[in-house]
Structure 1
Amino acid sequence: MTDRKTQLAANLEQVEERIATACAAAGRKRDEVTLIVVTKTYPASDVRTLYELGVRHVAENKDQDAAPKAAACADLSLSWHFVGQLQTNKVRSVASYADFVQSVDRPKLVTALSAAAVRADRETGCLIQVALDAESGDRGARGGVAPDGIEELAGLIEDAPGLRLDGLMMVAPLHGPYAGRQQASFERLMEFASSLRAAHPAANMVSAGMSGDLEAAVAAGATHLRVGTAVLGVRPRLG
C-alpha cells in the first residue's frame, strides 16, 4: 500500500505540474481548472489513497464498477462524476451516487435521470456530451449529441425536476473533420459553451481533455480535466 501511495503521489505531482504549466502558458490561474481522476478498473483502495493525497473529484464510466466503489467510499467527501455512455436501465443506480452525469446526450436520458433523481431526493448536475463527429439528430461514435441538438437538451435539463444544467463535455473525436485535431476540437467546444452560457448563465462547466491532451484543453479554456492513465497507470488489458 505504501508503494502504491508513493506511486500515485508521484503521478499526481507530475499531472499537477503539467496542468500548472499549461495554465501559465494560457495565462490562466491554476484554480480555474479542476482535476477529475478517472478511476475506472481500479479498486476502491486507490480512491481512498487519492483522497488522502487531496483528490476530491473522481469519475467512473460503468455503473457496475462505480456503484460498489461509491458505496465503499461513501464516508469520504468526494464528488462522483459519471462519464460513460449511460443506458436508461442503469439510471436509477447512477442517480443514487453520481453528483454529475457528464454524458447526457438524448431526451430519453434526461427524462429517466430526472425521475431517478427525484426518487432519490438528489440534485444531479448534468453536462451535455457534444459529438463533433455526429450528424444532425445522430449520436457520435463515442456517444454525444450533434452540436445542433445542444440547445434542445439544455432546455429539457433546465426544466427537469432533480436536474441541474452545468455545462458541456466532449471527448476529442476519432472520426470526422476534427479527428486528430484536439486543439481545434476543444476550441470549437468552447464556442458552443459560450453560446450555452449566453442562454443559461449558470452552465459554466466545460469538461474536456484527458491524459494525452490535457494541455490542449487547458489552452482552449476547459474548466475540468478527466485524467486517468497519467495518475493511475496503464490499465491492464481485459480478456
Structure 2
Amino acid sequence: MTASHIARNLSGVRQQIDTYCAQYQRNITDVTLLAVSKTKPAELLRAAYDAGQRDFGENYLQESLDKQQELADLDINWHFIGPIQSNKTRAIAENFQWVHSVDRLKIARRLSEQRPTDLPPLNICLQVNISAEESKSGITVEKLPELARDVATLPNLNLRGLMAIPAPADTLAAQREPLAGLRRAMEALKAEHPQLDTLSMGMSGDLEAAIAEGSTMVRIGTAIFGARDYSGQS
C-alpha cells in the first residue's frame, strides 16, 4: 500500500460520508472519520496524516505506543478503541486523548487516577453491548445510567458519549435497528448529562446505517489501509 493509495482511499471514504450525510440531512461537519490503524505500520499512518487525517484508532497498546513514538512529530489525536485490562490503564491514561471502550467503573477510576494532571481530561465513551452478544465487551443498556452517573463524577475524565459494535447484519434496516437503540440510549442519558455529544458507531460494513442513525464518529480501517495482518498479535 503506497501513500497515493492511502490518499485515494481516504478521499473515497470521505466522499461516501459526504454522500450519506446529504442523503440523511446530516451536517458533514458533525461526523468525524476515525481511521482504525491497528496492525498497520507507522509509515501508512504518516501517509494518511499527509492526506489530512488526524484521528487514529488503535486496539493494541504496545503496538500503538511504538507508533506514537515513531510519529511524535505529528499532531495526531490518538483514540484507544480496544478492550482494556487493568494493568494497561496507566499507559492508556498517559498517551491517548480518547478512550472508546470503557465498560466498567473500575477501569474508569483507574484512568482518572492515572491521567497526568498536566494533560486535559481524558475523553471517554462508554461501550454498550447493544446487540447483547455474549462474546462482546460492553455494558447493558439497563446498567448504562448508573455507570454514566459514576463516570461523570471522576475528576480527570470527560464523559463524551457512547460506543458500540453491533452484531453484523445483511440489510440496511437490520443494521439500523441496534444503532437506533444506541442513539435512543444516549438521548435518554442527555437529560442528566447534557454535555454528551459523541456516538461512536459505524464501520465499513454499516457506514450508511450509522450516519442515518446519528453517528458522530465512524471507525473505518480496511477501506483506508487494506486488509489487516494479525500475524504479529498475540
Query: TM-score over 0.5 for the alignment?
Result: yes
Amino acid at match of 1:161: P
Contact 1:124 1:164 (C-alpha < 8 Å) held by counterparts: yes
Q: 1:157 pairs with 138, 145, 151, which one?
A: 151
In the other structure, the counterpart of 1:9 is: 7
When the two chains are superposed, the root-mean-square deviation of aligned CA atoms in Å is 1.9
In the other structure, the counterpart of 2:104 is: 106
Moved over 3 A (4+): 118-122
Contact 1:22 1:218 (C-alpha < 8 Å) held by counterparts: yes
Q: Which has the higher contact order (CA 8 A, sep 6+)?
A: 2
Q: CA deviation at 1:75?
A: 2.1
Unpaired segments ≥5 residues, structure 2: none
Amino acid at match of 2:197: N
Identity among equivalent pairs (%):
37
Amino acid at match of 2:195: A
Deviations 1:59-116 (A, max 9, x none): 0011011111112222211111100011110010111111010000011111111111
Mapped pair 1:212 → 2:217: no
Distance in 2 between residues matched to 1:219 and 1:202, nearest whole Å: 22
Distance in 1 between residues matched to 2:48 and 2:197, nearest whole Å: 26
Residues 20-59 of structure 1: matches in 2 within 5 Å? 20-59=18-57
TM-score, structure 2 normalization: 0.92
Contact 1:110 1:156 (C-alpha < 8 Å) held by counterparts: no
Q: What is the aligned residue count?
A: 229
Deviations 1:87-146 (A, max 9, x none): 110010111111010000011111111111146744211000000244xxxx85221101
Contact 1:133 1:141 (C-alpha < 8 Å) held by counterparts: no
Q: Tell me, what secondary structure is at the counterpart of 2:205?
A: coil
- The verdict on how the C-alpha distance between 1:120 and 1:72 changes in structure 2, with shifts beyond 3 A counting, is farther
Contact 2:93 2:116 (C-alpha < 8 Å) held by counterparts: no
Contact 1:95 1:120 (C-alpha < 8 Å) held by counterparts: no
Distance in 2 between residues matched to 1:168 and 1:198, nearest whole Å: 15
TM-score, structure 1 normalization: 0.90
Q: CA deviation at 1:184?
A: 0.6
In the other structure, the counterpart of 2:229 is: 236
Mapped pair 1:222 → 2:220: no
